[in-house]
Amino acid sequence: MNLLIKQATIVDSGNPLNGKTMDILIEKGIITQIKKSITPEKGIKLLEEDGLHVSIGWMDMQCNFCDPGYEYKETLQNGLKSAAKGGFTEVCVMSGTNPPLHNKTQIEYLKNRSKSNIVTVYPIGTISHQQEGKDLAEMYDMKLSGAMAFSDYKKPIADAGLIYRALQYTHNIQSFIITHCDDKTIYNGGQMNEGLTSTKLGLKGISTLAEEIMLQRNLQILEYTGGKLHIPTISTKGSVEIIKKAKAKKLNVSCGVAAYNLLLEDTILEGFDTNYKVNPPIRSKEDVEALRKGIADGIIDVIVSDHNPQDIESKDVEFDHANNGMIGLESCFGVLHTALHTKASLETMIDTITKNPRRILGTNIPEIKENTEANLTIFNPHTKYVFDKSHIAASNHNSGFIGKELKGKAIAIINQNNMS
């Protein structure tokens, strides 16, 4: 693949070229020249438009492609198309499958089915066998087969002893735990954030305590056992403070936030739109502001799409009976940039979907410099557009952003000597 990107502003913190507008020549998948101006030669494809920006390829640390077992919600190939359309060159695929990714066969299935795709897949194996929360899964075998970390996805580990053993075991095999914090016994049957809106709508609330008490528990276990812990999606002001204190104590902990939790407030559920029924739930204005500040202050490390497709039969029902989940890959950058463009620098935003997730995973961080393999996302942070179904490649359309104006859009990705 030969391509000349004309007059693109480079966004790459720590790179001497950061903030500079340059021409970038890519030949056979390798960045061969970066100059103020490059004259295009015959046979070189040209990419040129106002407002072009380029960064290293984006990475999403939490998405669910449902394959195998729930292909009526999403197929692996459509999930990868969604990632490419959203600007992501690499994705971590969670174990929301049937069976879950709980042994090496499941990990190898995902690796083999995706190995020729422009989007690189990093499987996340389960913590517990069959996601049952009782016994540890075959972590070492899964690691040898390509599992990057271990998580029971949206199923929080109620058994403190299991988290204790998992942290010890993964530390010994040079891996780590990703665990969702949500004590369901506190809000049994809760439908949305607990507060004025839930009371007004007559819906049972999910208190912030449910997240924060399990987060505190897991961090206390981490402090005792050692090891490494990642919290994939915090959603409350209290959780931001808890993570801040844990980092001040030098615990090996990192955390993420779903893009939708940075933009939406719980009042949006007044229309009972089931697309806004998600886990963690959409929280209050106060929580949203704290999460945004957490990004700006570097307390929250990554932003994820939390891409979780649901078929129409799971969403076109009464609110109480609807499944949690929203697709998010295609809209992720537009959502996070709309939420944060006045709160955080563009470099900070891009770090949350490029360098920070790769540092947490321990994978190679691509570079924007000559004589390196091109792993790039080309985007325009200034583009305003109305998100609609034409922007969606996912198998289902359970997005709360259809018809909403967003600011910031991915244009193309380059990875593995290919462009999409």
Position 302: which residue type?
V
The Cα–Cα gap between 257 and 306 comes to 9
Decide if 306 is catalytic: yes
Q: Which residues lie closer than 8 Å to 361 by C-beta, 6 or more apart? A: 61, 92, 122, 148, 149
The answer to whether the CB of 208 falls within 8 A of the CB of 279 is no
- 256: tokens are 């993420």
Residues of the chain by 3-state class (helix, strand, coil), percent to 5: 35, 25, 45
The Cα–Cα gap between 284 and 150 comes to 30
Antiparallel, parallel or unpaired: β 88-93 and 120-125: parallel
The Cα–Cα gap between 190 and 183 comes to 11
The Cα–Cα gap between 273 and 402 comes to 12
* Largest CA-CA distance found in the chain, in angstroms, rounded: 66
Torsion of CA 192, 194, 199, 203, to 10 degrees: 30
Q: Which residues lie closer than 8 Å to 174 by C-beta, 6 or more apart? A: none
Q: Which residues lie closer than 8 Å to 231 by C-beta, 6 or more apart? A: 178, 179, 180, 181, 215, 218, 239, 243, 253, 254, 255, 256
Q: Rg of the chain's alpha carbons, rounded to an integer?
A: 21
Task: For residue 296, give the DSSP letter.
Answer: H
Q: Which of 306, 311, 316, 388 is catalytic?
A: 306
Known catalytic residues?
306
